[in-house]
Structure 1
Amino acid sequence: MTLAPFRAEIGAINDLLCAASVLTWDSRTMMPAGGAETRGLQIATLIRAARDRLLGADLARALDAARRAVEGLPADHPDARAVAQTLSAVAHHARVPADLIERRAALRTRAQAAWTQARATSDFALFAPYLEETISLARAYADAVGWEAHPYDAMVGMFEPGETAASLSALFATLRAGVAPLLDAARGRAPARDDFLARGYGEEGQRAFGLSIAERFGYDLAHGRLDTTVHPFEVSFTRSDVRITTRYRPDYLPGSLFGIFHETGHALYEQNVEPAYTRSALATDLVGLYAVGGTSFGAHESQSRLWENHVARTPTFWANHFPELKAHFPDELADVDADAFYAAVTRAEPGFIRVEADELTYDLHIMLRVELETALMAGDLGVSDLPGAWDERVRRDLGLVVPDARRGVLQDVHWSSGYIGSFPTYTIGNVMAAQLMESVREDDPGAIDALERADYAPLADWLRAAVWRHGRRFGRDELLAQATGRGLDPAPYLRHLAAKYG
């Protein structure tokens, strides 16, 4: 028996999904506003074609032969895993009506265009009908896939297999208990000066500095590029073409910089998947129908949060790189030194915007979104009541009064993308990042020492061996067990926060 027909079929499915990702990237970066309607249909056609091929007779025959070909191999052998994951994906999609897949895919581009306009005008009513449809389709999808305790479980499981509303509630309770005293202490201290972050920073200098750091981290521009968008993201069309985006604000310098560092972490994961896995089931999310090499969204977020917070949001990083940043903005930063800049970008103070939140308050943003998503999926909260519920939870958790929908319920792109259930993966990524960095310190202290010299290659080498190269071969907890000796554990994350903010 041969695996060649199986690999060819999966390769073709990956091609279709990569083509859909190209159209998605274009819709968020370059497409004129009037193209949303037909672009959504184009993407839906490609997603439907990928799904049909996954359930087609050709793959069924190839999969049958491949199943016999991998008999006797260890369960974690790459070929055995590719076959097992494909069988699981086929069973998953056999339960979901084809028109439901197509309707969800077609809605995304239209919903994103509506969200962009609604966000620009701070008018939730423009987006509300699209969100109503998004939630309705998500409920239908959850029912088709099947769930027991809560419909939200089916959606979370697409992005982070094994997690449920109940497991997330327990994790969040642990984190709240650990973060609360740290945040109280931070609020009791005089805040660091940060007035200089809003001095009218030009886009060219922000881009040049951010991209130079991305390259030093290891981002390969021969197989990548940086573009501008409303909400930053990373997207890969196989490891050979991995793109990142950011947004530039003259009145908030860290926004674009840490956005670039964050998306670079995602890109490093995708660019360093084992080359042999290209166009294979080990670099394709066959359940979610995305061309992505990371094993889960949480694992992916662990890499973005690791480079953003554990590398770039440190005194060492700014001692090394602040002179370069100052060279781009000599007038704006004339009265600022590296210590003052570090203090400003780690200032712990509740704010409205999740992507600009400090590490202490970041997960509170995630928790309130998950609470709202859970209520929407259960039917306990209507879309029309969402802005008020959002504002109430921001008052409760962050002590702030939301000034407008743009800085409130409309700030994130995820709901317009149909990503109901993806928000928890940011907090899981925070937990994973700290757990991995603690293991780096134990296993390879030289990689930590190298950071003092702005040498990022040893850390990248460790992560490549422990995480990146495996693609989707191992599940999240398998990956963590191999790298750290245990599954997901919030203790290192709480230790990290206490050390930085205690």
Structure 2
Amino acid sequence: MNEFQRRSAEINDLLCVLNVLNWDARTQMPAGGSGARAQQMATISALAQEKLLDPAYEAAAQDVSGDDLENRAAQQALHAVRALKRVPAELTRELALLKSEAQDVWARARAASDFGLFAPQLTRMVELNRQLAEALGYEDHPYDALLNMYEPGLTVATLLPLFEQLRAHHVPLLRAIQEKPQARSDFLNRSYPAADQKRLSLALAKGFGYDTARGRLDESAHPFEISFTRQDVRITTRFQENFLSGALFGTLHETGHALYEQGVHPDLSRTVLTSDLLGLYAVAGASYGTHESQSRLWENRIGRSKAFWDLHYPQLQQAFPQQLADVDTVAFYRAVNTVHPSLIRVEADELTYDLHIMLRVELERALIGGELAVKDLPGAWNARIRSDLGLDVPDDARGVLQDIHWSAGMFGSFPTYTIGNVMASQFYVAALEQMPDLENNLLRGEYTPLREWLTDNIYKHGRTYTPHELLERVTGRGLDPQPYLDYLSGKYGELYGLDIQKEQSI
């Protein structure tokens, strides 16, 4: 290793240690350990930032004169150094302390369905993220600075027109679907033992190519994927005995993330190109939206497809013979693709999912911009759910407390879910164009060709390219929602017998 590579590896090691501590806190750690864990994570974060801002590291990056890959790594490091120089060390430490504490309080508040328990931590988190936005700098809105941490180049000015285009498509389609008879889905809420769900979920994940020699499946309050280099990539899901599809699709979703991390080229391990230096986080994806494109692709384009269940439903029936004795493949496929507005984002159907994201983005943008006070957040949340989805929120646990993101300080990350939906369809269309036999492979349950194509075109590059560069390389154009809109219209038009042009022109 040269000096830049050596120092970059040390920083990546520290970020991976942070991930280990975070994984343990969210899966194994007893509640009494939260205070000490917060201090530990704050210390490691401070050490990582100290090494990143060491003048010797900046000098080593400036001295790089290697190949294109090494130069890209050096430029990314210098960009992060310039940005973090503007962030006071005390703010970084306070954020790290608060993240650990706030996640613990959030978990207790959610269990008690009491927003008031969490409100003080959230108020402070909003204040610190405003300070972070000011330190990082922005042109038009403080939210832009936070967006850029998760999706480089994304701004409010570019995001809102995308949301308007999606809303103009989704809402009329939703209204048309609501006029149609709905498929039965009651059987999804029968009793399904958690241990059996876990065995089946893991089997399906391994079928996609998740390597359990380099990973494992655990349970957590909120599903997530996390990596400690490509050699140790872990996923979690949430098992509810009376909700079969939650754990199944939660696992497939996180498997998509895991395939990305396991697919990064070995040469990129312990480098800048598997490190989010600005967010002080070990992650290999080009951006959070690019990462999300893979979880949504594997969960929805593959995992909710008719071809998938034509092939795998007998496996499901074998695991749950009594519960599914009166349910055939077609009924199950229709049930897991039913459009039915839900209170819970992670349980939402593909069509209404983006409406959940838009709600969160607009609320957190208002929080960061100072137009909405934390104490008014539950009321604003409930009003938007009622206007967008026609539902009444019965309690905080199924409302404003359902997501972990704000307790983790991840303001600006929610838009990447919808960005990921858009990217997923673009990547899938590109794969179809380049692999004419792809859908025949999928009909036979042969997932390796798709995974290898995604690895060659996306996964192996880690953070080498910006999300825009990657889209251009793989699809020939920048972010384009049309393939996504075509996919949703085609899928739900067929499922519900809609004349899409006629229905959407009403």
Q: What is the TM-score of this pair, normalised by structure 1?
A: 0.97
Shift of 1:37: 1.2
Q: Is residue 21 from structure 1 mapped to residue 4 from structure 2 by the alignment?
A: no
Deviations 1:7-57 (A, max 9, x none): 000000000010011000000000011111110110111111001001113
1:49-128 → structure 2 map (5 Å cutoff): 49-66=47-64, 69-70=65-66, 73=67, 77-128=68-119
- Tell me, yes or no, if structure 1 residue 350 matches structure 2 residue 348: no
Could you tell me which residue of structure 2 aligns to residue 385 of structure 1? 376
Q: Who is 1:402 aligned against?
A: 393
* Number of the residue aligned with 1:467: 458
List gaps (5 residues or longer) in structure 1: none
CA deviation string 1:60-98 (max 9, x = no partner): 3322322xx23xx5xxx2111001101101101111101
Aligned partner of 1:493 in structure 2 is 484
Work out whether 1:6 is the aligned partner of 2:4. Answer: yes
Determine the C-alpha separation between the residues in 1 that align with 2:383 and 2:35: 34
Q: How does 1:32-431 map to 2 (within 5 A)?
A: 32-66=30-64, 69-70=65-66, 73=67, 77-431=68-422
| Equivalent-residue separation in structure 2 for 1:33 and 1:446 (angstroms) | 51
1:441 aligns with 2:432: yes
Task: For residues 110-145 of structure 1, give each alpha carbon's deviation from its aligned partner in whole angstroms, at most 9, with x where no partner exists.
Answer: 101101011111000010011001100000000001
1:434 Cα offset (Å): 0.7
Aligned to 1:479: 470
Q: Structure 2: which 5+ residue stretches go unaligned?
A: 494-506
Residue 23 of structure 2 aligns with an amino acid whose one-letter code is W
Asked if 2 retains the 8 angstrom alpha-carbon contact of 1:440 and 1:448, the reply is no
Q: Deviations over 1:351-372 (max 9, x none)?
A: 1000000011000000000000
Q: Point out 4+ residue stretches in structure 1 off by more than 3 angstroms.
A: none
Are the aligned partners of 1:18 and 1:238 in contact in 2 as well (CA < 8 Å)? yes
CA positional deviation for 1:350: 0.5
The DSSP-based 3-state class of the residue aligned with 1:207 is: helix
Distance 1:112 1:348 in 2: 31
Shift of 1:179: 1.2
- Matches of 1:166 and 1:59, distance apart in 2: 35
How far, CA to CA, are the matches of 2:24 and 2:226 in structure 1?
11
The one-letter code sitting in structure 2 at the alignment partner of 1:226 is L
Q: Which amino acid aligns with 1:46?
A: I
Q: Distance in 2 between matches of 1:61 and 1:384?
A: 46
User: Counterparts of 1:280 and 1:372 in 2: how far apart (Å)?
Assistant: 36
> Matches of 2:439 and 2:311 in 1, distance apart?
14
Shift of 1:448: 2.1
In structure 2, what residue type is equivalent to 1:172?
Answer: F
Q: Post-superposition shift, 1:236?
A: 0.3
Contact kept, 8 Å, 1:446 with 1:458, in 2: the verdict is no
- More displaced, 436-445 or 292-301? 436-445
Could you tell me how far apart the structure 2 residues matched to 1:205 and 1:146 are?
50
Q: What are the Cα deviations for residues 241-263 of structure 1, in whole angstroms up to 9, with x where unaligned? A: 00000000111100000000000
- Cα deviations across residues 262-297 of structure 1 (Å, max 9, x unaligned)? 000000000010110000011111111100000100
User: For 1:405, what is the secondary structure of its paired residue?
Assistant: coil
Q: Return the letter of the residue paired with 2:180.
A: R
State how far apart, in whole Å, the 1-side matches of 2:172 and 2:379 are.
28
SS at match of 1:141: helix
Tell me which amino acid in the other structure corresponds to 2:56: D
Tell me how far apart the structure 2 counterparts of residues 316 and 384 of structure 1 sit (CA, whole Å).
47
Q: CA RMSD in A?
A: 0.8
Offset from partner CA, 1:304-329 (integer Å, 9 cap, x none) = 00000000001110110010111110
Does the CA contact (< 8 Å) of 2:62 and 2:74 recur in 1? no
| Alpha-carbon distance between aligned partners in 1 of 2:425 and 2:258, rounded to the nearest angstrom | 19
Distance across 1 between alignment mates of 2:91 and 2:345: 31
What is the deviation of 1:168? 1.1
Q: Is the 8 A contact 2:230 2:261 kept in 1?
A: yes
Distance in 1 (CA, whole Å) between partners of 2:455 and 2:200 is: 25
CA shift for structure 1 position 375: 0.5
Secondary structure (helix, strand or coil) at the match of 2:437 reads helix
How many residue pairs get matched? 493
Secondary structure at the counterpart of residue 286 of structure 1: coil
CA–CA distance in structure 2, aligned partners of residues 207 and 442 of structure 1: 35
TM-score by length of 2: 0.96
2:131 and 2:185 map into 1 onto residues whose CA distance is 47
Q: Give the conservation status (yes or no) of the 8 Å contact 1:448–1:459.
A: no
The amino acid of 2:410's aligned partner reads: Y
- Conservation of the 8 A alpha-carbon contact between 2:357 and 2:417: yes
Once the two structures are superposed, what CA deviation does each residue of 1:327-352 show, in whole Å capped at 9, x if it has no partner? 11000001011111110000001010
Preserved contact between residue 58 and residue 81 of structure 2 (Cα < 8 Å): no
Moved more, 466-475 or 51-60: 51-60
What amino acid sits opposite 1:86 in the alignment?
A
Equivalent position amino acid for 2:394 in 1: P
- State the percentage of identical aligned residues: 54
Amino acid in the other structure paired with 1:431: V
Shift of 1:493: 0.4
Counterpart amino acid of 1:144?
A
